[in-house]
Amino acid sequence: ESQFVWQSGTGARLIQDRGRVSVCARPGQGAGSPAEASSGGGAYPSVPLSCPLPGVPKAVFAAAEGRERFETRVSVLENGLRVASQNKFGQFCTVGLLVNSGSRHEAKYLSGISHFLEKLAFSSTAQFGSKDEILLTLEKHGGICDCQASRDTIMYAVSAEARGLDTVVNLLADVALRPRLSDEEIEMTRAAIRFELEDLNMRPDPEPLLTEMIHAAAYRDNTVGLNRFCPVENTDKIGRDVLHSYLRNYYTPDRMVLAGVGIEHEQLVECARKHLLGVEPVWGSGQARDVDRSVAQYTGGIVKVEKDMSDVSLGPTPIPELTHIMIGLESCSFLEEDFIPFAVLNMMMGGGGSFSAGGPGKGMFTRLYLNVLNRHHWMYNATSYHHSYEDTGLLCIHASADPKQVREMVEIITREFILMAGDVGEVELERAKTQLKSMLMMNLESRPVIFEDVGRQVLATNTRKLPHELCALISQVKSTDIKRVVTKMLHKKPAVAALGDLTDLPTYEHIQAALSSRDGRLPLVYRLFR
């Protein structure tokens, strides 16, 4: 028995005949013509699977409209505020206000203001009597809110249903420009900051602490080297007047970007005009007089914190006592062309913890796994990081091991820095570039990540490089580019952060000498007694 299954636009039809499948031509085409085939491959015995079948119509696939270059749109309002948006289809949108303000701008103020502002965000405002009222308003649109402060940016963001855009922009404007900053809220923030600082010093993972220390060592007492966390002694000194004085200078429209993903640009601009144009901030609308426009000055240096790490994680399987070292060198800003080669280099170095259940995609073929963790079983961690800002950057390697093997660990890391300037294999370079592109594209599938990317790029450059442009730049990186940027980087003084039992830590001068040598080895030290 034959059963009719499918008929194409060309008139050919698929017939299932007692388990034998064949493509039959239109009437009149005749048996044995190219349009007839069987599952046994009788009609096309010599056509490989990689070639299209002769006589079969060419498939037409759906294609993008070619409007990708118009994806991110930017408008500037009369007061200087920038509005940036990218359409992303779906029921929800992410909208936020990014301000060019952070701990790097606190040189003339008490350190810790940005930390306070981050914790005080989405508290009571001129329109909303409490944090609960704000959350209830967002709940009506299925929304959530968050505020994050970094060294150079503070970001107020909301994800909610696109239909509630007007409510969301009104809320963001009120939160950023008209917070009440009541005595009770400031007191609660002080308590929250004290708890966070205590928690930071007790965590088994010292990475946030080491990041602070390496920045303090690399940019001593200036810009990105200023502390991101509020020092304990400043918690009682920061009040409403201090905050208003800071906000008056840095929360001005020309230092802000309203970014949105998942909404129409015209709609966002209309909401911005309604809620962010001609608004009187709670601290007054006087001109900003004292804005810090300092450029980061890389100094290099060392920051050491002697700390007993033996009881960091007690219990049935305690974490062993470790000493943590981070060594960094100045790279470049994200506005420079060399930023892409540095990003590829960072991916090529990779690294991670001594235990990882991942395969090649996890970075098991990166240099810090192959050359360090796989060869030295006693090393618990070796990871590469790249921090980049609008006027500087820092490439560093974090390593941890038993306190008795600190000297050996430092030498292994200095040798890896020297080897960066050596030959780069074509396979490892291509792998690093592919991994970087893969990570970029995967991250940019998430709406909040797209929002942050749009906001930060427009805040820094007034425009946005799209993912396919960045992928093209990554593809152009050659091994000579890696060698060039590393050679330039190795001429700088190192920045060193050390935490834990530092009895066997080499001197800063010895680490500097190792990074200036040909093989990265530390100078020999002769001791009578050990």
Which whole-number Å values give the CA distances from 27 to 6, 10, 32, 35, 406, in the listed order? Answer: 15, 11, 13, 11, 83
Q: Are 129 and 121 within 8 A, CB to CB?
A: no
Span 481-505, pLDDT tens digits: 999 999 999 999 999 999 999 999 9
Span 411-451, pLDDT tens digits: 999 999 999 999 999 999 999 999 999 999 999 999 999 99
What separation, in Å, do the N-terminal and C-terminal C-alpha atoms of the chain show? 92
Q: Report the pLDDT value the prediction gives residue 64, as an integer from 0 to 100.
A: 61
Mean pLDDT of 35-59: 71
Mean pLDDT of 73-89: 94
Q: φ, ψ for residue 314 (rounded to 5)? A: -85, 170
**Over 50: is that where the pLDDT of 510 sits?**
yes
Element (H or E) spanning 511, and its range?
Answer: helix 508-516
Mean pLDDT of 111-129: 97
Helical packing angle, 165-177 and 265-276, nearest 10°: 40
**Over 80: is that where the pLDDT of 315 sits?**
no
| Mean pLDDT, all residues of the chain | 89
**Over 60: is that where the pLDDT of 529 sits?**
no
Most confident of 23-32, 45-54, 215-224, 358-367: 215-224
**Over 90: is that where the pLDDT of 360 sits?**
no
**Over 60: is that where the pLDDT of 401 sits?**
yes
∠ CA 333-334-336, nearest 5°, is 70
pTM to 2 decimal places:
0.85
Cα–Cα distance, 505 to 413 (Å, whole number): 13
Pairing type for strands 495-500 and 301-306 reads parallel
Q: Of 354, 340, 359, 341, which Cα lies nearest the Cα of 424?
A: 341
Query: What percent of the chain has pLDDT above 70?
Result: 88
Mean pLDDT of 391-395: 97
Q: Of 202, 460, 443, which Cα lies nearest the Cα of 343?
A: 443
CA of residue 465 relative to chain centroid, distance: 15
Place 90 in a pLDDT band, splitting at 50, 70 and 90: confident
Q: φ, ψ for residue 497 (rounded to 5)? A: -125, 135
**Over 90: is that where the pLDDT of 70 sits?**
no
Q: Report the pLDDT value the prediction gives residue 58, as an integer from 0 to 100.
A: 84
**Over 50: is that where the pLDDT of 29 sits?**
no
